[in-house]
Structures are given as structure tokens and as C-alpha cells.
Amino acid sequence: MTTQLPSPAPVATRPQAPMPLPAPRGPLSDALLRVLTHAADPAVLHPAVAGALASPGASWCEHDDVQVALTCMYELHYRGLDGVDDDWEWQPDVLAARAALERAVEEELRTRVTVPVPVDTSAAAVAATLFELTSSDDGPSMSRWIARRAQREHLEELLVHRSVYQLKEADPHTWAVPRLGGAPKVALMEIQSDEYGAGDPERQHAALFARAMRGLGLDDTYGRYVDQVPAITLAHPNVMSMLGLHRRLRGAIVGHLAAFEMTSSIPNRLYGNGMRRVGLGQDVTEYFDEHVEADAVHEQIAGRDLAGRLVEQEPTLGGDVVWGAAVCLALDGWWARHVLDRWAAGESSLRVGLP
């Protein structure tokens, strides 16, 4: 069990610190980190990527070396990496290496996650398709397990896994804002405004999650636990970044957000109930309770006004919208299976256990 950390300054007064450099997990991430810290020439990235892609494991989403490398590459577009010059964000060798890894990840996801292209591209029909897809998902339920069985150590691990994305919550989806117009853009901004606190920095969902981490005695430093989590945990935020950063995938990032919102309200109620069951207070549960009501509204906006109206505008995006939603469900299910299997075996779900 971890110890309680002193309360830091409110989020509104903190500087936006870069992510600490993670440890490499193989030749590719080692080469990348040496390049970014000026310890190697960027040319070493090309053979390093080729080597990684020539020796795949069962899944790119579970490939530690690839996922750590992608985490570092994407982080250059967010808060940056500690000690790494911001000029690396658009360096051609880094971008070329990222593109090669993205092709491999996208090809795997296109093969493993298949959905029919919607025939009826009206907003109502697209929304109905997405609601049916999310309601029929038969992946393992992390939230039900947490509500009924979790002990404090499980909740600590849960927040460590979730911190990789939740401390920058909503940012990957915000890349879609300039790629949309009209009603879909307005709908996305309505959702994102709530995600960012509706004008109150302390009500940002990332700030509420940081408070929950502190309530469990965890370090809420941005990116603090990247070294602790397995590749499958890194894969989901990495895929979000990939979908958000490519204009051609704007339909997929919209579908991803729709599924994310449609599968949030009830699970967050269960998470909050599980935390109250073990005696945790409002400082921890507030983040989850906030999402129960907010996401019940967001799912309607995301399904009809965002995804549905986008496909009405651009019918050719219908397939990617539904695929993006299915990818969200698949990645969440693969991650949950990893965690629940480890817990069922009496083991930590983390690569490196907490103190």
C-alpha cells in the first residue's frame, strides 16, 4: 500500500511540466531515446524500426518496445519530454519512424477489428448503429469486478493504468476540432468544454483524476507511471493519438469518442461504488461520480450530433466512424482481460509493482 502524498498546488497554478523520459524496453526505444537526447544520429532510427518490425510478437499492441517508442513520439505533440528539445516534434527521421510503426499498428487493427459499413447514413441510423455496437459488447467488465471484488491495492493499480491517458484526458480527441465543421464541430466542442472544466481549471477531468490519485497516495505527476504499465496499457492512448493526428482518420477518432462516451456512465458509477465499498472518500470518488451524469448526456451528443451528423455530411466516413468505435471497445477489452487475468492469478497487473 502506498503512503499519502502531500497536497500539491492547485492545478490552475501549476506549470505544465513535460513527461519524464521513460526507460527503454528494447533496441527501438533505446535508439529513439538516444536520438532525442543527442546521444545518437537520427539515421539510427531507420534500421531500429526495421529491426522491430521484422521480429513482431503476437500483437503490436502488446509489443513493449514499439509502444514505448510510440508513447515518446506522440508525447512530442503534447507536453513534450523532459530534457528533449521541442524541435524534435517535426524532425523528419522521427516522423518517418513513427509513420512506419503506425502502418503496422493500423494494419493489425484493421485485420482484428472488422465492422460492416453502414448503409443508412442518416444521423439517427448511425447513432443507432453505435448504440447497438456498444450495448452488445461482450468484453470483460472491469467496472463490475471493481464494484464487487476490488481491494485497495487493485484500485491503486487501476488508477496507475488509467493515469497514462486520464492525466491528459480529452486531448487526443481535441485534435479533431479543426478537422470538422458545422454541427459536428459544435457537438465536439460541447463535449470537450465539459471535459476541460467548463471554464473552471480545477474542474477539468484531468484535474479531478489527479486529485483521485492523490487521495489513494499515488503520485499525480504527468507520465509518472509509464514505466510501471505494460504495453497494452500504452496502446490505447497511442491509438487515440494516431487517430486524432491524422486527418484521413477523422471519422475513426469521432467514432472512438462516441464509443468512449457511450460506455462511460454506468461503468463510472460502478467504479465509484467499488471505491466507497472499501472506504474511500469523495476526494477519490468525485472524478468517477462526475462522469455518471456528464457522460449520460455526452453519449447522446456524441452519437447523434457528432458521429451521426458527420456521416450525414460525409457519407464515405461511415465505415471509419463505426470502426473507430469498435477499436475503442476492442482495446479496452484487451486491456481489461490482461488486468483481470493477472488479478485472478493473485499477481500484480503492472510491469513493476508499486512500493
Dist. CA 27–CA 41, nearest whole Å: 15
Q: Residue 212: which pLDDT band, with cuts at 50, 70 and 90? A: very high
The architecture (CATH level 2) of 123-344 comes to Up-down Bundle (1.20)
Give the type of residue at 149: R
Q: What is the pLDDT of residues 20-63, one digit of tens each?
A: 999 999 999 999 999 999 999 999 999 999 999 998 778 999 99
> In Å, how far are 61, 111, 182, 226 from 205, measured between CA atoms?
26, 33, 26, 20
Please give the residue that has the higher pLDDT: either 71 or 4: 71
Answer whether residue 311 shows pLDDT above 70. yes
Query: DSSP readout, 168-224?
Result: TTTHHHHTTGGG--HHHHHHHHHHHHHHTTTT-GGGSHHHHHHHHHHHTT----TTT
Q: What is the pLDDT of residues 141-192, one digit of tens each?
A: 999 999 999 999 999 999 999 999 999 999 999 999 999 999 999 999 999 9
Predicted local confidence at residue 355, as pLDDT: 75
How many whole angstroms from its chain centre is CA 332?
Answer: 9
- The residues, ordered by sequence, that sit 6+ positions from 250 with a Cβ below 8 Å of its Cβ are 176, 179, 180, 317, 320
Dist. CA 287–CA 114, nearest whole Å: 33
Which residues, listed in sequence order, are joined to residue 318 by a DSSP beta bridge?
Answer: none
pLDDT, mean of residues 242-270: 96
Under 8 Å between Cβ of 328 and 302: no
Predicted local confidence at residue 191, as pLDDT: 97
Q: Which helix (H) or strand (E) holds 349?
A: none
Under 8 Å between Cβ of 275 and 284: yes
Query: Nearest Cα to 60, choosing from 18, 126, 112?
Result: 112
Predicted local confidence at residue 354, as pLDDT: 87
Answer whether residue 240 shows pLDDT above 90. yes
Dist. CA 207–CA 169, nearest whole Å: 9
Predicted local confidence at residue 138, as pLDDT: 86
Percent of the residues in the chain that have a pLDDT greater than 70, as a whole number: 96
Under 8 Å between Cβ of 295 and 303: no
Predicted local confidence at residue 4, as pLDDT: 53
Query: Nearest Cα to 129, choosing from 294, 334, 297, 320?
Result: 320
Q: What is the pLDDT of residues 5-14, one digit of tens each?
A: 555 555 555 6
Predicted local confidence at residue 353, as pLDDT: 87
Q: What are phi and psi of 184, to 5 degrees?
A: -60, -40
Query: Nearest Cα to 168, choosing from 77, 36, 264?
Result: 77
Q: Where are the chain's structural domains?
A: 18-112, 123-344
Under 8 Å between Cβ of 231 and 60: no
Percent of the residues in the chain that have a pLDDT greater than 90, as a whole number: 90
